[in-house]
Amino acid sequence: MRSIKVVVEKHEEGFVAYPLGLRGVVVGQGDTFEEALADVKSAIKFHLETFGPEALDESDSAQEAFIAEAQVA
């Protein structure tokens, strides 16, 4: 069992989720947080089954993820 950090964003149209530390593009979506998380889990599993352990980017194993806001002119 491997733990992968996932970012979940809330948008007007629903939720979008994507993992950190994988090579390639993996995205999940849903009307709820739980649906998006379940969708991205399924997508991660498929991605790893398709591309194997090489899809894991060991150099990009985030310990934590933060969201910050920066104002720019």
pTM over 0.85: no
- Beta strands, E only, 1-73: 6-11, 14-19, 28-30
- CA angle at 21 for the pair 23 and 34, rounded to the nearest 5°: 105
8-66 pLDDT tens trace: 999 999 999 999 989 889 999 999 999 999 999 999 999 999 999 888 877 666 778 78
For residue 1, give every residue at least 6 positions away whose Cβ sits within 8 Å of its Cβ, in sequence order, or none.
Answer: none
Neighbours of 67 (CB within 10 A): 6
